[in-house]
């Protein structure tokens, strides 16, 4: 009998990588604690134990939280204080967050503890590792975090499961009692010591988890946006000259050059493109939605690079409060404030919304008999009785409008809380959540453009499209067929979404034209 070896993600005192987060959130990786991380946590815990012995007041160790920071807590009630904190802060409401988000958030919390500045026992981090390896995912409601002091409520829902309380997600998405799930997995609840409850909930792990997942998705979608743009441009008999490298070298935005190079390469070796190269009556300049595709998608790529840089810095950051310093001091910080992540998520949402908006403009042009350069109305060979892709464009227009609403920044919506102690918050959790919605919508918009572009290429027969066009035709023909009488479009668009989000079409195209940026 063969055994499958699962990949291993090791949490070290220097943290984890974005690839580690994806491997745990979306893959089957096993998580282990590096011995050096255990040593770092033990050293910081020894400092907290000494503070406990001296009895001096330290926030979160011997005092209450937030507006109750000046309330002294007697030594015999400090474990009770930590448990009460978790229960009271697990106050979220709404539908559960996706499994991948919660798993990423838990790994990032383990990472935070393993940096050795939180003053927790190594057993606490190990207990969360055990949850991940047992595939027990806490039920974390979508509403509750303001992004400062970090993602308090979502992290508290995760921590509550460690105590054997709260809920976990069942395999079918149902809600199960955490205590029962722990027993079934052979795990025991933990008892918190001083400061440990606070260390489990303070930080930016939820918003960072969503940003890292979004960055991975956006990186793929921006390449697929170049693919669908090229298909649409080819189907509309556009020119490949605006994508020549020398035209982008004179405006040296790096993302623009990458997108232009992608689109230019995708349009080569095409009988459709060759058919009008020497036609003097052909349009001298294509419309902006065609000609400026790399300027928009390229700016989005540069925005993505900024977001990835911010996320990388956050992955190396200590975001707990208070922090335990190696010299024995315990200092309050504001590192849990999610402004850097909120700004980055909002910025990336704006960029992704515009990539979808320009894609919809190309779809509309493909369907318009007055602008599509001799393609039939709505890409139907029998328009009138049949409506072709008319309503698919309506769907795309509605999604563009929704993305414009979602592109309004969440990070400017601060509201004061905790008796005015926490009088400015980041709304980073909300910014990251809506970024994921924008990217999901972008997937749908590119799916519509994929179907429309393929229909247009099919209607250019007997001319042979580019290798990228042929690959797209092969991928779409199985569920969309050939141009003809109207068909039930919803399943076609769902299948096209799977093509856009998956790796297969890109892999086939890259095998023909080389790697795409």
Active site residues: 59
CA-CA distances (angstroms) from residue 326 to 48, 116, 460? 11, 9, 70
Cβ–Cβ < 8 Å for 357, 446: no
Q: Is 268 helix (H, G, I), strand (E, B) or coil?
A: coil
Question: How many other C-beta atoms lie within 10 A of the C-beta of residue 221?
Answer: 25
Residues 6+ apart with CB under 8 A from 161: 131, 136, 138, 167, 168, 178, 181, 182
CA-to-CA distance for 168 and 160, rounded, in angstroms?
10
Which phi and psi angles does 62 have, rounded to 5°?
-120, 15
Task: Answer yes or no: are the C-beta atoms of 449 and 497 closer than 8 Å.
Answer: no
DSSP state of 4: P
Residues 6+ apart with CB under 8 A from 269: 466, 467
Alpha-helical segments (H) within 61-195 = 78-89, 99-114, 122-133, 152-162, 178-184
Is residue 29 a contact partner of residue 7, using CB atoms and an 8 Å limit? yes
Interacting residues of 309 by C-beta distance below 8 A, sequence separation 6+: none
Phi, psi of 274 (to 5 degrees): -65, -25
- List the beta bridge partners of residue 150: 203
Q: Is 185 left (phi over 0), alpha (psi -120 to 50) or beta?
A: alpha
Quote the tokens at residue 112: 């935070």
Separation CA 422–CA 195 (nearest Å): 20
B/e letters for 461-500, b = 16+ CB within 10 Å, e = fewer, are: eeeebbbbbbbbbebbeebbeebeeeeebeebbebbbebb
Residue with tokens 């910025």: 347
* CB of 380 closer than 8 Å to CB of 393: no
Neighbouring CB atoms inside 10 A of 315's CB total: 18
Distance of CA 296 to CAs 15, 423, 477, 482, Å? 35, 37, 29, 31
């Amino acid at each position: 009998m063969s055994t499958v070896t699962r990949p291993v993600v090791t949490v070290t005192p220097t943290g984890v990588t974005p690839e580690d987060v994806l491997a745990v959130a979306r893959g089957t990786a096993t998580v282990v604690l590096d011995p050096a991380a255990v040593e770092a946590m033990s050293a910081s815990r020894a400092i907290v134990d000494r503070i406990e012995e001296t009895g001096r007041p330290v926030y979160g160790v011997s005092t209450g939280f937030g507006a109750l920071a000046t309330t002294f807590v007697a030594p015999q009630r400090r474990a009770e204080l930590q448990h009460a904190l978790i229960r009271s802060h697990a106050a979220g409401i709404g539908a559960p967050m996706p499994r991948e988000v919660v798993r990423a958030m838990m790994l990032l919390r383990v990472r935070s503890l393993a940096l050795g500045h939180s003053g927790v026992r190594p057993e606490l981090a190990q207990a969360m590792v055990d949850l991940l390896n047992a595939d027990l995912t806490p039920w974390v409601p979508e509403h509750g975090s303001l992004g400062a002091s970090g993602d308090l409520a979502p992290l508290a829902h995760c921590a509550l499961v460690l105590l054997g309380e709260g809920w976990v997600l069942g395999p079918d998405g149902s809600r199960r009692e955490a205590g029962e799930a722990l027993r079934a997995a052979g795990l025991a609840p933990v008892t918190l010591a001083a400061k440990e409850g606070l260390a489990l909930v303070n930080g930016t792990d939820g918003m960072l988890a969503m940003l890292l997942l979004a960055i991975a998705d956006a990186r793929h979608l921006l390449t697929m946006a170049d693919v669908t743009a090229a298909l649409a441009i080819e189907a509309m008999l556009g020119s490949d000259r605006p994508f020549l490298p020398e035209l982008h070298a004179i405006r040296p935005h790096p993302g623009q050059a990458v997108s232009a190079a992608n689109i230019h390469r995708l349009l080569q070796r095409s009988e459709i493109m060759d058919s009008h190269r020497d036609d003097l009556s052909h349009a001298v300049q294509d419309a902006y939605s065609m000609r400026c595709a790399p300027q928009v998608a390229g700016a989005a790529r540069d925005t993505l690079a900024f977001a990835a840089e911010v996320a990388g810095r956050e992955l190396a950051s200590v975001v707990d409060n208070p922090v335990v310093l190696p010299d024995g001091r315990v200092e309050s910080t504001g590192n849990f404030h999610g402004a850097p992540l909120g700004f980055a998520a909002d910025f990336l949402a704006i960029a992704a919304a515009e990539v979808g908006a320009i894609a919809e403009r190309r779809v509309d042009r493909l369907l318009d008999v007055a602008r599509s350069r001799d393609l039939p109305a709505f890409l139907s060979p029998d328009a009138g009785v049949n409506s072709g892709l008319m309503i698919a464009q309506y769907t795309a227009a509605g999604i563009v409008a929704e993305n414009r609403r979602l592109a309004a920044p969440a990070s400017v919506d601060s509201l004061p809380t905790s008796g005015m102690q926490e009088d400015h918050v980041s709304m980073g959790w909300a910014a990251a959540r809506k970024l994921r919605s924008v990217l999901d919508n972008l997937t749908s918009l590119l799916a519509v453009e994929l179907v429309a572009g393929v229909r247009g290429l099919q209607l250019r027969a007997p001319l042979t499209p580019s290798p990228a066009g042929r690959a797209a035709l092969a991928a779409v023909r199985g569920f969309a067929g050939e141009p003809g009488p109207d068909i039930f479009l919803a399943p076609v668009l769902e299948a096209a979404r799977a093509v856009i989000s998956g790796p297969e079409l890109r892999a086939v195209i890259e095998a023909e034209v080389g790697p795409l940026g």
